Amino acid sequence: MATVETKTAQPRERILQAAADLLAEGGREAVSTRAVSAAAGVQAQTIYRHFGDMQGLLDEVARRGYASYLAAKQAQDEDVDPVAQLRRGWDMHVAFGLANPALYRLLYTEPRPGQQFAVTGEAHQVLLRIVERVARAGRLRTGVEPAATMIHSSGMGVTLTLIAAQADGRLSHYEDLSENVREAVLGSVLAPAGHVAARPGAGAHHAAVHAVALKSLMRDGERSLTFGERALLGELLDRIAAGDGADADVDTDGPGRA
């Protein structure tokens, strides 16, 4: 069983380190009150005094373990191409999961009815801001929220698949999975660079991309419009982005749809 240094660290730090070590070595099931108490050299009451309960302890372990990854995502240069940021963010997410499989499972697969870990919520907000920048650049063919949800859920699925393959010693069999899925997902939500297409019927698709961009820009507020006018314009832009009312023979690929 893992033990931590009991002479130099305060009880709270010993408890956190013990829980993190147990999680890394044995997964969520290994982080019990008895195991943490023994590894940290404290009584169970000490855990509850510092963290309330074991869920509070796990939340803090998750927050600390996720901190460096989240800081790296937040520190990405906003002057660079936002599409490049999306790719880099995807790769960072997968790499974090493979380097910290037990922590990743705790963050993304631990049943928590009606709530989520705050740190994963922060990471999703970072993703939303990047997708928002993509929309403002006229490169998004869907709404910001749907695009972010597609990217996040697909990235999480790929990461969990690769974690399982890594545990079974089969990771080399999935060498191209992450990149292939990443490009497929981005291809479904992004408009091509320089997307003023020459093919017949491309006008509706072009309008949809600009509708998404304009709605994204309106999030900062347009003071020349009343609340009702902004709501109406938002609804009209949503319809344009979704291709509502477009002639069936204008774009058989479904303009504006992922």
Residues 136-158 have pLDDT tens digits of 888 888 888 989 999 999 999 99
Task: Please state the pTM of the whole predicted model.
Answer: 0.72
pLDDT in tens, 197-225: 434 344 445 555 555 555 555 565 556 66
Whole-number pLDDT of residue 196 = 43
Whole-number pLDDT of residue 243 = 60
Question: How does DSSP assign 196-232, residue by residue?
Answer: ---STTHHHHHHHHHHHHHHHHGGG--TTS-HHHHHH
Whole-number pLDDT of residue 103 = 93
How far apart, in whole angstroms, are the C-alpha atoms of residue 31 and residue 36? Answer: 6
Query: Which pairs from 205-210 meet CB under 8 Å and 24+ separation?
Result: 205/141, 205/251, 205/253, 205/255, 205/256, 207/240, 207/255, 208/141, 208/240, 208/241, 208/242, 208/243, 208/255, 208/256, 209/138, 209/139, 209/140, 209/141, 209/256, 210/138
pLDDT lower than 50: segments of the chain: 196-204, 244-258
